[in-house]
Amino acid sequence: MDKTVKNLLLKIKVRCGMKVFLKIVPNEFKNESRNKRELLVVNTFEMNTVIMAKGDNNINFIDGYRVHRRTTRPLGNHKCLIKLNRIISVFTWASHARRIKPYCISCHDLIALFIGWLSTCFIPKRKKPLLVYDSHEFEIGRNTGTKRNKLTKFTISRLEKFLIKKCAFSIMVNDSIADEVQRIHKLKEKPIIVRNIPAYWDVDEEICKKRKEEFCEKLGLPMDTFLVMYHGGVMPGRGIENLLKAIQRNINVATVILGNGEKEYIEKLKHMVEELQISERVLFHCAVNIDILWQYVGAADIGMVTIPAVSKSYYYMLPNKFFENIQSLTPIIGSDFPEIRRIIKGYNIGLCVNPERIDEIANAIEEMRKNREMYSWFKRNLKYAKDELCWENERNVLEEAYGKILR
């Protein structure tokens, strides 16, 4: 037997006597930085951590975690079976979760919470697993790509209200969403707030300069070119089109789009770049590993978080990329929405704009480029923001909440 497999089996055997902590994630569990940070906190309580995620009904290991992969298409891949597959897979996932016999189940979103709750039905109260709702966005107002009708919104709201009251506690990503959820569902206690903040990044500015040299070399531009960056998922509704239109107006500025996306959409953006005649100032770069992301984000002069409010969830957004810019010491131009504005203005680390107004975006970029005193001020303030807005501080809230139910 392979030595690695033997070690894994031994590890499982040793942990068999421990209480099981189950994390239900209805996706492929790949770039799950928030979930992994949560699991690191849970590990301090000596739990046997198991993950349920999308896949082909097998078990594998990611970062030392045992991942039970379950299919979302138990009836096959035919298009006419999509809705029926979704319904049946909820029950098959719940059945599998029940067999794992967890002590506590943390649920990535509302669907995961429904699966978790379903798996606990008809279990005696004293043996019933604890439920935790880890909502990664504003579920009632999330962006699904299509407009929800009133019946769908009503159903989601009622389901969330019912399930959230079955939980030991709930987690929201910022104050605005927690306040809204408490108000809508008339909750006695406000959900705890755990923002999407990465661990403290040790940034080497010399390495960042080298990355910038690489970007400028690929573009055929001088090293002192003012560089703005969008990083994250390259997909519709992220404000990339308006950024490109703003870059057209700023002839002394270049931009890097760092991230992966659907090939068809990226080709559409590249065609737009050609039409705007800015090909020599726009670089598309694939996503990089989170461990070296600071090198690339820190290479930019400005980080762009100008996502439009295509949904209520986006209006209340406070995404990973926002804090990754802070940890990389990169001044930010962000959407003038409550949570983004609160931090940008509170720490004085950038400018806020209306993400739908191309002229505002272009003017903010130009002001950052020209006003070196203001820019230097933002850079200095980022050092203070970086020290405070890191996972080492943020984890305390989560550690305290889990401590009450896992100790």
Q: What residue spans in the chain does CATH classification 3.40.50.2000 cover?
A: 3-197+392-406, 205-388
Position 9 scores a pLDDT of 47
Position 5 scores a pLDDT of 52
Three-state SS for 309-338 is: CCCHHHHCCCCHHHHHHHHCCCCEEEECCH
- Look over the chain and give the mean of its residue pLDDT values, rounded to a whole number: 92
**Can you give the length of the chain in residues?**
407
Residue 130 has pLDDT above 50, yes or no: yes
Residues 6+ apart with CB under 8 A from 76: 85
- Could you tell me the pLDDT band of residue 136, with boundaries at 50, 70 and 90? confident
- Could you tell me the pLDDT band of residue 17, with boundaries at 50, 70 and 90? low
Report the alpha-carbon distance of residue 233 to residue 254 in Å, rounded: 20
Tell me the longest C-alpha to C-alpha distance in the chain: 69
Position 140 scores a pLDDT of 85
Phi (first) and psi of residue 262, to 5 degrees: -65, 135
- Domain 3-197+392-406 grouped into CATH 3.40.50.2000: yes
CA nearest neighbour of 333 among 259, 215, 183, 228: 228
The gap from C-alpha 16 to its chain's centroid, in whole angstroms, comes to: 32
Q: Which fold has domain 205-388?
A: Rossmann fold (3.40.50)
What is the percentage of the chain residues whose pLDDT exceeds 70?
Answer: 94
The gap from C-alpha 256 to its chain's centroid, in whole angstroms, comes to: 20
- Could you tell me the pLDDT band of residue 7, with boundaries at 50, 70 and 90? very low
Render pLDDT for 324-375 as a digit per residue (tens, 0 to 9). 999 999 999 999 999 999 999 999 999 999 999 999 999 999 999 999 999 9
Which segments within 5-140 are labelled E, that is strand?
A: 20-25, 48-54, 59-62, 65-70, 104-107, 130-134
pTM above 0.85, yes or no: yes
Report the alpha-carbon distance of residue 185 to residue 18 in Å, rounded: 35
Please, are residues 133 and 187 in contact by the beta-carbon 8 Å criterion?
no
Render pLDDT for 141-184 as a digit per residue (tens, 0 to 9). 876 666 777 888 899 999 999 999 999 999 999 999 999 999 99
**Among positive and negative, which fits the CA dihedral 143, 148, 154, 158?**
negative
Residues 6+ apart with CB under 8 A from 269: 234, 240, 241, 244, 257, 284
Position 113 scores a pLDDT of 97
What is the three-class DSSP state of 78? coil
Please, are residues 129 and 103 in contact by the beta-carbon 8 Å criterion?
yes
What is the percentage of the chain residues whose pLDDT exceeds 90?
Answer: 81
- Could you tell me the pLDDT band of residue 134, with boundaries at 50, 70 and 90? very high
- Could you tell me the pLDDT band of residue 10, with boundaries at 50, 70 and 90? very low
CA nearest neighbour of 84 among 94, 96, 75, 97: 75
Render pLDDT for 215-254 as a digit per residue (tens, 0 to 9). 999 999 999 999 999 999 999 999 999 999 999 999 999 9
| Cα 230 to Cα 8, 255, 265, 269, 362, distances in angstroms | 39, 8, 15, 13, 14
Residues 6+ apart with CB under 8 A from 55: 28, 67, 69, 70, 71
Position 123 scores a pLDDT of 94
